[in-house]
Amino acid sequence: MNKILTFVAAVAIALPAVAQTATQAEVLDAARNANDYFMAKYADPTEPTNVKKIRPSSLWTRAVYYEGLMALYGIDPKNEYIDYTDRWAAFHKWTPRDGTSTRDADNQCCSQTYLDRFVMTGDSAMMRPTMENIRGQMAETKLGYWTWIDAIQMAMPVYAQMYKITGDKAYIDHAMDMYRWSRNECGGGLFNEADGLWWRDADFDPPYKEPNGEDCYWSRGNGWIVVAMARMLDLLPEDEKHRKEYETMLVSMCKALKPLQREDGFWNVSLHDPSNYGGKELSGTAMFIYGMAYGVNHGLLDAAEFSPVIYKAWNAMVKDCLHPNGFLGYVQGTGKEPKEAQPVTYDREPDFDDFGLGAFLMAGSEITKMK
């Protein structure tokens, strides 16, 4: 690890120190600006996406945006956010992408927002298709569905939501069984306890190496896990038997990520090899500080240690990524590793411009709760 940190320091971009504070109003203004741009650009939330092919707007990239929008609503309760969400969800009949028989975690991500709305309204139509989908999956003996770490964020919180709604512990027990399979068994286990980080999928387990000889830890992939841990902890009661495992994972990952932060406040897309497409990147950075802010706000992480990290990253994103009109630059497009969708720049629009915004909104919403 010392070799890695020395290399990070050697190649980090030397920039003037970024302010390590931000007021709640400043954070909210930035989040609103980015979201207003998106809602104006996609005034009809039911329209499908068209990136190489037509996809319904219930796909995972858009579902992550709605996670962020619901987080923003939590600190900025505007009816227009709910109207926009409900138009989208009702169009898709409150049903996972590809129907209730899907087992693809990406297809299940939209259910997180459907269930949020059920909790707000009590309208069973918003929950019923998700319940059918998840109970159908639980009835199977197969656990090995989450073969890529993104899936843990896409689907695992749905199980926690169903547990919270119904009180049926079978949901959360099944989610833990699937999570442990991914962590400990898939490809020999996707989590490397020694480094406190995750390989994105079995393709990147050793002997796969980055150009500098280190393991490949993709920034956004690890970001998905950080988000999932915070989401699970936010949904589970204090006495839930699995809670400690999620707490331990969130804390260990945040501590592993802290020394890897670049001098400019961002994290590289390759966490242990800054020479492999190194540079500013928003999506992983936003996910990391969302989890760190959650940890600080809930007493899991020391505020004096992590607040400067969080504010440095947030202010860097606002300064270097957020265009005056609300467009977010430096978002790596979809993929699975550092080389995807390069180059990542201030002006380049990613193939999907929704999931990065979702992460930005989640981060900003959690940061406004910091003391």
Q: Return the active site residues.
A: 150
What distance separates the 2 farthest-apart alpha carbons in the chain?
A: 56
Nearest to 245 by CA among 180, 152, 149, 162: 180
SS3 32: helix
Q: How buried is residue 255: exposed, middle or buried, by Cβ count under 10 Å (0-12/13-18/19+)?
A: middle
Reported as half-sphere exposure (CB side, CA atoms, 13 A), residue 85 has a value of 29
Q: Estimate the crossing angle of helix 219-235 against helix 355-367, to 10 degrees.
A: 50
β partners of residue 53:
51
Radius of gyration of the chain from its Cα atoms, rounded to whole angstroms: 19
Q: Which residues contact 57 (CB under 8 A, 6 or more apart)?
A: 45, 46, 47, 48, 49, 88, 91, 92
DSSP string, 223-235: HHHHHHHHHHHHH
Task: From residue 173, give the alpha-carbon distance in Å to each of 65, 97, 230.
Answer: 27, 24, 18
Token pair for 351:
């193939």
Contact 1, 264 (CB under 8 A): no
